[in-house]
Structure 1
């Protein structure tokens, strides 16, 4: 017996409202063109750069935050690019492919 059944027994006159529409944070706009995943060294430190997203910048910022928290690394969002500290190309490409994005590896 789940919680809904228990509540129905306790309050038989109560009408259950229709399911509320939740904001789906994972509803990021998918695109046809692949995202570009590059590796660069800036000021002697390795950085992974993801670019090529042509959707809303808010969706790209959400994706950036999700990647940073999943990998537990620092990074930023500047000039329509996600900059992740360190060389995480393989992990980032795997995460983006699992989300449904097409990803292209650029550089060595």
Structure 2
């Protein structure tokens, strides 16, 4: 006798509800028509990758910044509607964004 049978014996009038299945896609970030610009700069002698040109909600862009930082295991920040990632990760970031469905344009070098 498993746990479900024991619970049915204890509570015969209880009707078990089916858990709700979340059918939403994990990519809930708003996709835009204009490309996101992926730039490379050196600040104080250190390389940084800057993502600019997102026209959606600020919360979506912050979530994207957090996801990129955790997948790349690097530091970074979100300031003035720009994502700043420490290091030169343009190629990896561009492939990640293209997999998500974004239009990305490489600027400089």
- The aligned counterpart of 2:103 is 102
Task: Give me the whole-angstrom Cα distance separating, in 2, the residues matched to 1:7 and 1:44.
Answer: 63
| Structure 2: runs of 5+ lacking an equivalent | none
After superposition, the Cα gap between the structure-2 partners of 1:58 and 1:25, relative to the gap in structure 1 and judged at 3 Å, is: farther
Which range is displaced more, 12-21 or 37-46?
12-21
Between the aligned partners of 2:105 and 2:5, the Cα distance in structure 1 is: 52
Tell me if structure 2 keeps the 8 A contact 1:39–1:47: yes
Structure 1: stretches of 5+ with no match in the other structure: 1-5
Change (3 A) 1:9 1:27: farther
Look up the match of 2:52.
51
In structure 2, do the counterparts of structure 1 residues 9 and 98 end up closer, same or farther at CA, with 3 Å as the change threshold? farther
Tell me the equivalent position of 2:36: 35
Alignment RMSD (CA, Å): 2.4
Alignment partner, residue 80 of structure 2 = 79
